[in-house]
Amino acid sequence: MSQEIQETLVSGTLVPETKVSLIDIGANLLHRSFDRDRDQVIDHAAAAGVSPIIITGTSEESSRAALNYAQGRPGKLYATAGIHPHEARNFGQGSVKNLAALCTEGAIAAAIAVGECGLDYNRDFSPRDKQRECFEAQVRLASVKGLPLFLHQRDAFEDFRSILLKYHQHLGPVVVHCFTGSAEELSAWLELGCYIGITGWVCDERRGRHLLPLLKEIPADKLMLETDAPFLSPRTLQSGNSRNEPKNLGHIAAFIAGQLSKSPETLAAETTANARRFFSLPG
């Protein structure tokens, strides 16, 4: 080895790029757009350093399916169990009991968080009173089970906050997933001690620009990253593929790291540690 190469090795120039290790805290892997190649999608994510992946449960049925599927890849996949506000119209008598069963170790591994649940007055796919009933029942379930909460909120700030406040004292960790709100909303969630989930929405120059200055307001120990795949493909990624995948989380992390003037490695280490602590994951 020449003196010159040895010196560059020591200075680090020839050291292969550090592989960033990330946890995708929210991917809708049971979505039908992954039916053809779900296993491959997970392999591609792992090859890109994204592992484990937390599959988001959005209905009783999808939560059960997510847990069943996650069971096949222990340590690589986990799942949450919840009813999304869009699905709240189907919330009924047995729903809480069924969700509680999914949060308990049994025939299938237990969910590691309650959610996705919350309120969405933007699209109003379910009546608002039904959304509130469904949301509150799940917040109560999380407090009883001592599980983290994975929350969705759009255009429902006041009602959402008042339900959270009611149970706040009895809750474990809470994440406001896919945060896209205002500075006021961000400070309200941080005041309640919530974690903030950021997706590729932040890469959207049309509707994500207001989030850029807010990134700096999120304490390093409260930020977590997610793709929300197959939705929200980062617009800064020129893949020509409209389906978002967990493997794209590295791109989102690099984009956010740039905004925060941090190295992607530092951001990855911080957000991965947050996700491990939040979901009580091993490692």
Contact residues for Zn ion, defined by CB under 5 A: 152, 178
The gap between the terminal CA atoms of the chain, to the nearest Å, is 38
Cβ 15 to Zn ion shortest distance, Å = 39
Cβ 177 to Zn ion shortest distance, Å = 6
DSSP 108: S
Choice between 86 and 276, CB closer to Zn ion: 86
Choice between 56 and 143, CB closer to Zn ion: 56
Cβ 115 to Zn ion shortest distance, Å = 9
Choice between 20 and 195, CB closer to Zn ion: 195
Cβ 50 to Zn ion shortest distance, Å = 19
Distances (CA, A) of 145 to 70, 103, 269: 21, 8, 29
Q: Are 81 and 116 in contact (CB under 8 A)?
A: no
Structure tokens that stand for 217 in this block: 């307001």
CA angle 246, 207, 52 (to 5 degrees): 15
| Cβ within 8 Å of residue 54, ≥6 positions away | 23, 24, 25, 26, 27, 77, 78, 79, 80, 112, 113, 275, 279
Choice between 46 and 121, CB closer to Zn ion: 121
Cβ 160 to Zn ion shortest distance, Å = 12
Closest C-alpha among 195, 188, 152 to residue 171? 195
Cβ 116 to Zn ion shortest distance, Å = 5
Choice between 79 and 178, CB closer to Zn ion: 178
Choice between 227 and 271, CB closer to Zn ion: 227
Closest C-alpha among 198, 138, 197, 196 to residue 171? 138
Query: If residue 62 lies in a helix (H) or strand (E), which one and from where to where?
Result: helix 60-71
What residue is closest to Zn ion based on CB? 152
